[in-house]
Amino acid sequence: MVTLAVTIWGFYFLKGQDLFKPGKVLFVVFPHAGFIEPSTPVVVNGYKIGIVSDTRLMDPTQGTVLVELRITEDDLFLDKESEAIISSPGLIAANVIDIKLGKSGKEVQDGDTLKAGLSLGIEATLMNIVEPLQNNMNSVLKNLDSVLVPMKTSLPSTVDNLNQLITDVDRLVRNNDQKVGSIVQNLDKLMGTLARNERQLDSMIGNLHQFSDTLAALELAKTVATTQQAMEQVRNLLQSINEGEGTLGQLAKSDALHRRIDSTALSLQLLMTEINEHPERFLHFSLIHVNKNKDKSIK
């Protein structure tokens, strides 16, 4: 007999029912069972106050389900106007019966039937998560639209201006292609001539250095005055060039610039050739000039 009693008690205990703590039995009629079965927790604000003790089909034609609740929490004042709602605490957690407490001030009695509230279900749970994200996304899209609309208005004019600038640059390059090519070719010839006559140029620079030593022996005051006058002339010359006056001022715009450079290179080439082929002419002239200076110093 004792064994049978223990067996019965164990059976109900495994189902979540404590025969020594019966509590109150309440009923709820749901239009849909929501996968509620015996031993499903009954909670208030997430706190378990009892379990589902039984479920059965109440009206076969309408499909309504009668759910029996066993409330084992004696200290809880369960209001008569409370609602029982089938809800899901998480995406993967099993459903529970969530009791939303009423405010009538009257306590529910054993055997009473609670109102069935609106079941949240998995769709409602997802909507509670998705709705704030949707609102944030709408706000972001509005801000992005406020930025893109002005850009959309000004972008065509910006592209047109850029295309016009590219066209002008291309036209300028095409119109001056031959002139630029000729100038570069003549400069290359001039640099080649200077490279081939590097030794002669070094000698000329050495002579200039001796000439500068002679200038250093002159009176300082006269040198300073002459230098100031020369610098003033140079300043005037540079100002004239900047204003486009004179020959140098027209070099950048003159169509004959390449011909002048070519002529200069040719003249320099002829001079270097003459020095290489007849050095005695220039050497003889230099010796005569040096002897005359010596004779004057002896007298």
Give pLDDT tens digits for 237-251: 777 767 666 665 555
Task: Give Cβ neighbours of residue 177 (< 8 Å, ≥ 6 apart).
Answer: none
- Assigned domain for 182 exists: yes
> Do 277 and 183 fall within a single domain?
yes
Q: How far apart are CA 194 and CA 204, in angstroms?
A: 13
- Assigned domain for 124 exists: no
Task: Give Cβ neighbours of residue 126 (< 8 Å, ≥ 6 apart).
Answer: 91
**The domain boundary residue, chosen from 97, 119, 141:** 119
pLDDT at 53: 94
- CA quadruple 230, 236, 241, 243: dihedral, nearest 10: 170
> Do 110 and 203 fall within a single domain?
no
Looking at the predicted structure, is the pLDDT value of residue 174 above 70?
Answer: yes
Q: What is the DSSP letter of 117?
A: -
> Do 100 and 15 fall within a single domain?
yes
User: 269 or 258, which is more confident?
Assistant: 269
Radius of gyration of the chain (CA): 55
> Residue 16 class from Cβ within 10 Å (0-12 exposed, 13-18 middle, 19+ buried)?
middle
The overall longest dimension of the chain from CA atoms, in Å, is: 163
> Do 210 and 104 fall within a single domain?
no
Asked whether the beta carbons of 145 and 113 are under 8 A apart, the reply is no
> Do 181 and 109 fall within a single domain?
no
Q: How far apart are CA 146 and CA 140, in angstroms?
A: 10
Question: Does the model's pTM come out above 0.75?
Answer: no
Tokens coding 284? 């003889």
> Could you list the residue range(s) of the whole structural domain that residue 110 is in?
2-119
> Do 188 and 280 fall within a single domain?
yes
**The domain boundary residue, chosen from 99, 119, 139:** 119
Total domains present in the chain: 2
- Assigned domain for 67 exists: yes
> Do 184 and 294 fall within a single domain?
yes
User: 196 or 283, which is more confident?
Assistant: 196
- Assigned domain for 130 exists: no
pLDDT at 6: 40
> Do 96 and 28 fall within a single domain?
yes
> Do 181 and 291 fall within a single domain?
yes
Task: Give Cβ neighbours of residue 30 (< 8 Å, ≥ 6 apart).
Answer: 36, 64, 65, 67, 86, 116, 119
Looking at the predicted structure, is the pLDDT value of residue 255 above 70?
Answer: no
Read off the pLDDT band of 2 (50, 70, 90). Answer: very low
Residue 145, Cα to own-chain centre: how many angstroms? 18
* Strands 96-100 and 41-44, sheet pairing: parallel
- Assigned domain for 101 exists: yes
**The domain boundary residue, chosen from 119, 138, 166:** 119
pLDDT at 65: 93
Looking at the predicted structure, is the pLDDT value of residue 66 above 90?
Answer: yes
- Assigned domain for 172 exists: no
Residues in the chain: 299
Q: Which amino acid is located at 72 in the chain? A: T
- Assigned domain for 58 exists: yes
pLDDT at 165: 84
Stretch among 42-46, 76-80, 229-233, 260-264 having the lowest mean pLDDT = 260-264
Tens digits of per-residue pLDDT, 108-150?
999 999 999 866 554 555 555 566 777 777 777 777 777 766 6
pLDDT at 119: 62
Read off the pLDDT band of 106 (50, 70, 90). Answer: very high
How far CA 86 is from CA of 41, 102, 147, 175, 189, in Å, comes to 11, 16, 46, 84, 97
User: 1 or 30, which is more confident?
Assistant: 30
- Assigned domain for 145 exists: no
Q: Give the pLDDT mean for 208-212.
A: 67
pLDDT at 224: 66
